[in-house]
Amino acid sequence: MSSLHDISWADYSALSIEGKVPLLARPDGMPFHTLFAQQFGRKELDRICDLATKIRFIAKSRDGMDFLQGLLSHKRAMIYFTQPSSRTFLSFLSACQILGIKTGEVRDAAVSSEFKGESREDSIRTFSSYFDLIIMRTQEKGLAERMAHALSQSDRPVPIINAGSGKDQHPTQALLDIYTLNRSFEKKGGLANRTVMYVGDLARGRTVRSLSNLLTNYEGMRHVFVAPPQLQIGDDIVAMLKARGNEVVLSDDMRAWLPRVDAVYMTRIQDEWDATKGESARIDTSRFKIGAAEMALMGANAILMHPLPRRDEISTDCDSDPRAKYWRQMRNGMWVRTALIAATFDCDDMILAWRSRQ
């Protein structure tokens, strides 16, 4: 039966970021690492989405929860967050708990500083000695790949999941965004030939970069990037999308485009990356916010997304609008991460075959 592990590991290997990480093709018994969004092709995305939907369904019953919690109750995971994010942390924690996985954690600077005396490789190898899975989030670009490579040379090469690495990658965020789009358009003709508008700080947010990239796996996508000129999307992304035959529009007029798109993906200003303090505050972002008036411009079948946390980009007035999907999107993150972890440990076939005993 087909499984997530049918992924082409030659492709995987070829995707190594900046040529620095020689990711090897995966022989039998080698771990499945989740390192960057681009390693997932259409086949893998469909598999993850199917799994997430099935898990969501199974989890509705006590019977089903008992089944899920029994799947990996013999496994233990280390959640190692040197770049804090309680939201992502709790999402991964919940995913582990749904599958019965026990967890250990490092998630604040005070505790993680103890590891500073030793090399990152030694810290990760320590975790691999005690745990069966490492979920890591760091400031450092490319670290997950480097650690996966280092572990591959030890005798406990446990799988690594990148839960965010600097401005660089956040592959599970991209997966949950894809799943939310998929789920939203499932009964409305599917996710193809859609227009997605991204709004806000497109220069510095990694989610839009990863999501637009993954959307090239679907046919006939159009991308509308709406931002103040200083925060517009990078040329590299525009070039990549065009090279793959996707339509691209750059604009600074959100209201003009609102009636014409299928999905609106809002983002917050990432002022934590400001080169000089207060830099972002001087940019006029007033025309890149959504309230009741803007919702009125959106199509009846269009959806509104946001990776959260939000500031004032989306007014709380919008929360009860059925087109607002950001809370569901967050909960989808838990289901997608559960699916990903299950697949990492080869439970995907067992889950898809599950039938209630009742």
Q: Which residues bind a copy of itself (CB under 8 A)?
A: 62, 65-66, 69, 73-74, 76, 78, 84-87, 90-91, 93-94, 97, 102, 104, 106-112, 114-115, 117-119, 121-122, 125-127, 129-131, 153-156, 308-311, 316, 319-320, 327, 330-331, 334
From 26, 33, 125, 170, the catalytic residue? 170
Q: How far is the CB of 41 from a copy of itself (least distance, A)?
A: 29
Q: How far is the CB of 104 from a copy of itself (least distance, A)?
A: 5
Does 88 qualify as catalytic in the annotation? Answer: yes
Does 120 qualify as catalytic in the annotation? Answer: no
SS3 of residue 313 by DSSP:
coil
Does 74 qualify as catalytic in the annotation? Answer: no
228 contacts 252 by C-beta, under 8 angstroms: yes
Q: How many whole angstroms separate alpha carbon 310 and alpha carbon 316?
A: 10
Q: How far is the CB of 127 from a copy of itself (least distance, A)?
A: 7
Does 311 qualify as catalytic in the annotation? Answer: no
Choice between 297 and 330, CB closer to a copy of itself: 330
Choice between 240 and 330, CB closer to a copy of itself: 330
Choice between 48 and 106, CB closer to a copy of itself: 106
Choice between 287 and 311, CB closer to a copy of itself: 311
From 60, 116, 242, 311, the catalytic residue? 116
Q: How far is the CB of 114 from a copy of itself (least distance, A)?
A: 5
Task: Please provide the DSSP assignment of 210-224 as one string.
Answer: HHHHHHTTSTT-EEE
Give the Å distances, CA to CA, from 13 to 20, 162, 217.
Answer: 11, 16, 19
From 53, 88, 180, 207, the catalytic residue? 88
Question: What order of strands is seen across the sheet that includes strand 160-165?
Answer: 102-106, 76-81, 133-138, 160-165
Sheet strands (E) in the chain: 76-81, 102-106, 133-138, 160-165, 195-199, 222-226, 247-251, 263-266, 303-305
Choice between 221 and 334, CB closer to a copy of itself: 334
Residue 314: φ, ψ to 5°? -125, 120
Choice between 72 and 203, CB closer to a copy of itself: 72
Q: How far is the CB of 18 from a copy of itself (least distance, A)?
A: 23
Give the Å distances, CA to CA, from 36 to 10, 14, 60, 298.
Answer: 15, 12, 31, 32
Q: How far is the CB of 180 from a copy of itself (least distance, A)?
A: 13
Q: How many whole angstroms separate alpha carbon 77 and alpha carbon 55?
A: 20
Q: Exposed e or buried b for every residue in 54-79, given b needs 16+ CB within 10 A?
A: bbbebbeeeebeebbeebbeebebbb
Does 167 qualify as catalytic in the annotation? Answer: no
Catalytic residue positions, numbered: 87-88, 116, 137, 170
